[in-house]
Structure 1
Amino acid sequence: MSECLRTRGFLPCEDPDTEMRVGASFAMLDELAQELPSLLMEPDCRSYLAGQMIPDWPYETIPNRLVPQARLYYLRLGFLASGYINQIGQPACHRLPANIARPLARICHLLHRPPILSYDGYVLYNWKRFDRSQPIGLGNIDTLQNFVHLYDEHWFILVHVEIEAVASRILDAILELEETEGFGDETRVNAALTQIADALDQLSAVLKRMPEKMSDDLFYSKVHPYIGRFQDVEFEDVDSARLDYQGEPGAQSTIMPTLTGLMKVPHELNRLTRHLHDMREYMPEAHRRWVEYVDTLPDLKPLADAECWNRVLEGMASFREVHYHWAIKYIARRSPDPHDTGGSPYLKPLKFLIDETRAHMK
């Protein structure tokens, strides 16, 4: 596991599977994946999807050899569910039909996660490389599935994939400290902080590329609705209660919680920080355990050189500032809902997170 984190970060240890292979009947999910952007443009899309015979996961558990297949199966069903509930141009929908709800709920139960398409399915498992001998990065990756026929959505996902790939250098630095027992060694601590700061500079550089191929108008009107939350949704034949689940905010990425835990940044408890903590429930189980582990690591601040320590905190603040800018550009300017990026008022508290990060400098 540690070697995977060092080389892949929070991306899968092996490139994601691109097609379903657990049985002949599962090929229809790959076909629906290709058809979904076109289907979502039709007024009878929901009726069509509700009539599909979707195969159940054929095992009582998830054998290790089939983990990539289980992730792809969850991705396929998650896209169908979010497309069905959030279809643009159609009346609000609060009932997911049994043919989608039952298999989605079951595979998500086996994956120990809520039954909705989250950041892991939308980003971490949703890519392929054109050339497997070349790095995981923009220009060499594409998505496996989308909601719309717009490259803007591909770009939105792929920018996040490259960010996750670059973040492997942050995890590598942390694990190097662990493996060399370097948490009490000033030289090793500062070397690790320098590596993390360099990676953060690159993360911000990648995130700044978002407008290159993603229109703010198209993102807000054509893409953003599909990655919204489920509010008061009944899962037919699964649970009689109506359920609320968060959609796919970037807050479900494990990168910033890792850095916050490592740097022991003291954030004030408020609605946003509680919301960010709740987002851990949407992370893959292994990622949740990793964040819990990092929270227990020794405080590096007493041994850290001020310049190295402050570079990391400035890198975290700068990355959040880019995110803050994009939240305004792509969502806040167009949305009357102050909760629109994931269920909590976000702009003012996000600014507090940035200020509190800088306030923790030496």
Structure 2
Amino acid sequence: MQSAASQDSELLRPSYARRGFLPETDPRAAFPPDSPYAALDEIGRDLPSLLYDKGFRAYARALRIPRWNGPESEPAQPQLRLYYLRVGFLASAYVNQVGEEPAAILPRNIAEPLVDAAKRLRRPPILSYDGYALYNWKRFCKEAPIALGNIDTIQNFVHMYDEHWFILVHVEIEAIAADILGAIASIHRRLAHDENADIDAELWGIQNAVQRQVDVLKRIPEHMDSSLYYRTFRPYIRFFENVAYEGVDRGPMQFRGETGAQSSIMPTLIAFMKIPHQRSVLTDHLDDMRNYMPAEHRALINEVEGMPDIRKAARKEPFNAILEAMADFRRVHFSWAQEYINRRMDDPRGTGGTPYMRWLQQMLTETEAHRI
């Protein structure tokens, strides 16, 4: 049974040590057949085919999408997340349909349900990393790990396994983060009782987990063609720029598109290791990415930021090993950004709207400089 202190702590919630930042239970893959939202599942399955048609936007404007009127309690969260996923995919497909100019208006029948669902989830009304990856997977064997080979996506933009693979690599990386969060929670508990506690085992556990994440990230080229990524499904996760949401009493809006920078893993590690990234327009972008994370993940990062600096309690070897693993992750990420995007596109902005190459290099340099 959790103590009162544990109940007030987001970090000490047991599910993080089991699932990382993935949902506490596997995402819902479909609505019940008699649900008023079941039609969204069919639209989602058909979406990759519909997007080949130049008449897709006219089709989408005629859709009747029911507004969410279900409960918002914890047991109902999987259905609400699926609703957000389905409508979010539809909105990004409409605005950024490949082969067409980006749409300047998101029609009322899509805009209003999306804005309403996003408000309930306390997040901006655009498909973000949570809907594209954290809630967008299912297991073939429920008893087997959340890992490549045992997982598939629920929704896609294109009929290409490359997009499945891109998403699923991120899902396994998120699953591995459970060991990181479990170790940080253990350190938090132990140092609260004894500021001189030996935390070597937990630190080496974090290093091992980050290195395993690096190994998964390195697998990207196995099923993802760099000549196809940037012109097939990447445009669909791009940011919205000056898009008016019809029926919403606001002017044209800007929202950051889906990006791995919206994952909570690296911000949590930065907060835990107290890496002092120099304030700049790039770190301002990074801070803004937190607004696109689930609210509970933002709370966890804030809690970790409030932890004391572990440099006094840590020995040099495991502390520096974590930093080297983080730097290794950033090096691999930087190399894939070069290979899959930078060589093939003139736009210096990533899907989140950031000047990603400068940003990635700055993060790498400052991570390496923080060694004891």
Q: Same fold (TM over 0.5)?
A: yes
CA shift for structure 1 position 91 = 2.5
| 2:336 corresponds to | 326
Distance apart, 1:185 and its partner CA: 4.8
Contact kept? 2:61, 2:107, Cα under 8 Å? yes
Return the alpha-carbon distance in structure 1 between the equivalents of residues 336 and 192 of structure 2.
37
Where 1:238 maps in the other structure, the secondary structure is coil
Does the 8 Å CA contact 2:129/2:263 hold for their aligned counterparts?
yes
Selected match of 1:90 from 100, 111, 123: 100
Of residues 170-179 and 44-53 in structure 1, the stretch that sits farther from structure 2 once superposed is 170-179
- 1:143 is matched with 153
1:51 aligned to 2:73?
no
What's the offset of the Cα at 1:346?
2.0
Amino acid at match of 1:353: M
Give the structure 1 partner of residue 280 of structure 2: 270
Deviates more, 1:175-184 or 1:41-50: 175-184
Take 1:177 and 1:36, find their aligned partners in 2: how far apart are those partners?
Answer: 46
Please point out which of 347, 356, 362 is paired with 2:357: 347
Deviation at 1:20, TM superposition (A): 1.6
Secondary structure at 1:167 match in 2: helix
Q: Tell me the percent identity.
A: 49
Say whether the 8 Å CA contact 1:189–1:303 is kept in structure 2. yes
Question: Could you tell me which amino acid in structure 1 is paired with residue 82 of structure 2?
Answer: L
Q: 91-100 vs 274-283, which deviates more?
A: 91-100
The AA in structure 2 aligned to 1:170 is I
* CA displacement at 1:274 relative to structure 2: 1.0
Work out which of the residue numbers 27, 37, 45 in structure 2 matches 1:34: 45
Contact 1:177 1:188 in 2 (8 A): no
Question: Contact 2:188 / 2:307 at 8 angstroms: preserved in 1?
Answer: no
Q: Deviations over 1:6-37 (max 9, x none)?
A: 00000000000011239532111000010000
**One-letter code aligned to 1:5:** Y
Q: Is the 8 A contact 1:85 1:94 kept in 2?
A: yes
Candidates 258, 262, 265, aligned match of 1:248: 258
Deviations 1:141-161 (A, max 9, x none): 000000000000000000000
Determine if contact 1:271/1:345 at 8 Å carries over to the other structure.
Answer: no
Pairing partner for 1:24 from 35, 44, 61? 35
- Which residues of structure 2 form unaligned runs of 5+? 1-9
Match of 1:293 in 2: 303
Within 5 Å, give how 1:211-290 maps onto structure 2: 211-290=221-300
TM-score by length of 2: 0.94
Match of 2:89 in 1: 79
RMSD value, Cα: 1.4
Shift, 1:92, TM fit: 2.5
Residues matched between the structures, number:
361
Note closer, same or farther for the CA distance 1:162–1:294 as it changes in structure 2 (3 Å cut): same
Distance 1:108 1:320, change over 3 A: same
Aligned to 2:325: 315
Aligned AA (2:348): P
Q: Secondary structure at the match of 1:239?
A: coil
> Matched residues in 1 for 2:200 and 2:283: separation?
28
- Answer yes or no: is 1:9 the counterpart of 2:20: yes
Distance (Å, rounded) in 2 between the aligned partners of 1:211 and 1:56: 40
Matched, 1:153 2:163: yes
| Structure 1: 5+ residue stretches without partners | none
Residues 183 and 269 of structure 1, relative CA distance in 2, 3 Å threshold: farther
CA distance in 2, matches of 1:301, 1:23: 56
Structure 2 distance, partners of 1:82, 1:235, is: 12
* Matched residue SS, 1:172: helix
Shift of 1:342: 1.9
Q: Give the 3-state SS of the residue equivalent to 1:114 in structure 2.
A: coil
- CA displacement at 1:194 relative to structure 2: 0.5
Matching residue of 2:6: none
Q: Is the 8 A contact 2:198 2:313 kept in 1?
A: no
Q: So what's the TM-score if we normalise by structure 1?
A: 0.97
Cα 1:244–1:183 shift into 2, 3 Å? farther
User: Match of 2:253, SS?
Assistant: strand
Provide the secondary structure at the position in 2 that maps to 1:361.
coil
